[in-house]
Amino acid sequence: LFLLVVIIRVVSRQFDEVILPLDLSMDYSISFNEFYRYDKEPMVRIIKVDKFVKGFTEPDRYPHVAIYQPKNATFPLFDLIIAVYDKTGKRSLYAYQLKEGREIPKLNTSQLETNFDACVLVRGQPSQGETRSKQRWIIPSKSEITAF
């Protein structure tokens, strides 16, 4: 469901400051699991997020939002990765972990070669309080998730 909402929001240019902080002035093209280089290993068999991100290829035009969701949940850390290319081709990366409960997974970004602009933890039982950061996660509040 979250993936569908993200796609609808990109197509309709409805962004927010926490979960999908994109530039409203840009008219993005969009792709899903495209612009990926399958050098010898299909996307579903790659288990390291850094290797997965290295497989991203440049889109045909800019600005562009490339949404990647491996067909099998192979990464322990992220369920969805969004690569956003501005009109000059500069790439920003957003990673999402989708959890049903209240658990906050440990995010050790020092073990990652990839620099993500934001790592967002979307929980099924979110906090009633304000959106916050913990262990380098951005954790949207219940009201932020509901609004999204």
pLDDT of residue 136: 79
What's the CA gap between 59 and 86, in Å, rounded? Answer: 11
**Inter-residue contact 122 to 138 (CB < 8 Å):** no
Q: What is the DSSP letter of 110?
A: G
pLDDT tens digits along 95-129: 998 887 777 777 776 667 788 999 998 877 666 76
Query: Taking the model in full, what pTM does it have?
Result: 0.85
* 41 contact partners, CB below 8 Å, separation of at least 6: none
- Whole-number pLDDT of residue 30: 94
CA-only gyration radius of the chain, Å: 15
């969805």: which residue's tokens?
Answer: 80
Is the per-residue pLDDT at 24 higher than 90? no
CA distances, 57 to each of 34, 68, 69, 98 (Å): 9, 12, 15, 25
